[in-house]
Amino acid sequence: DAGVTQSPTHLIKTRGQQVTLRCSPKSGHDTVSWYQQALGQGPQFIFQYYEEEERQRGNFPDRFSGHQFPNYSSELNVNALLLGDSALYLCASSLDRGLDWGEQFFGPGTRLTVL
Amino acid sequence: AQSVTQLDSHVSVSEGTPVLLRCNYSSSYSPSLFWYVQHPNKGLQLLLKYTSAATLVKGINGFEAEFKKSETSFHLTKPSAHMSDAAEYFCVVTHNQAGTALIFGKGTTLSVSS
């Protein structure tokens, strides 16, 4: 059973560019959350998608947007990149019901470097 | 509002000695609490979780944590450290309801010496 997968693993962009990160959830999971982990910090919640809708959003600007597809996979888009957007972006999937409710499974992350 | 405070940014122990990583939480609601571990260049792995059942929670690799509501604490312990335990540990709080985000502490780096 494949766990959470993310692509690409590494990405280098320049300021002002746009980037799209992708995530495939663990099999059977229907909820996808995105987190930003700056160097030396704990992950910070960006937003969560459920039933193709953004259900909850953290304290991130509108430059950060996302999408969830009918197969539950998800994309994170960041526009007008800033140097401060350099971080590890983590995707986590979970099930919105059942015994494993609430437990989030994390992917390995995408390392974004903005120059 | 919810938050977690990890009281130590860095803990150093010798192999075979006990491990204690401290975490205090703040929550307006009935919380769920987790400990995650992150090894270098690897994804976050769940060690254990508390979701309002037994207050002493056992996790993987010999780790356990005790939920103490009166002290608003959820400290992580292990009787005997192993070299492979060296990693970054995160205490996490969330609402005990669907659709809520995980709130991470800043992390504690555990170093284990031989």
Domain with residue B86: its CATH number is: 2.60.40.10
* Mean pLDDT across chain A: 92
pLDDT tens per residue, range A33-86: 999 999 989 999 999 999 999 988 999 999 999 999 999 999 999 999 999 999
Task: Please report which residue ranges of chain B form alpha helices under DSSP H.
Answer: none
Its domain, for residue B91, covers 3-113
Which pLDDT band holds residue A21 (cuts at 50, 70, 90)? Answer: very high
Residue of A nearest to B107 (CA): A42
The count of domains in chain B is 1
B40 touching A (Cβ < 8 Å): no
Across the interface, of B43, B98, B102, the residue whose CB is closest to A101 is B98
Q: Are A86 and A112 in contact (CB under 8 A)?
A: yes
Cα(B22)–Cα(B109) distance, rounded to whole angstroms? 12
Residues in Cβ contact with B54 at an 8 Å cutoff, skipping those fewer than 6 apart: none
* Residues of chain B predicted below pLDDT 50: none
Residue B83 exposed, middle or buried by CB count within 10 Å (0-12, 13-18, 19+):
exposed
Which pLDDT band holds residue A99 (cuts at 50, 70, 90)? Answer: low
**Are A42 and B46 within 8 A, CB to CB?**
no
Which pLDDT band holds residue A18 (cuts at 50, 70, 90)? Answer: very high
Q: What is the pLDDT of residue A103?
A: 79
CA-closest candidate to residue B57, choices B32, B81, B38: B32
Q: What is the pLDDT of residue A106?
A: 93
Contacts of B107 in chain A (CB under 8 A): 40-42
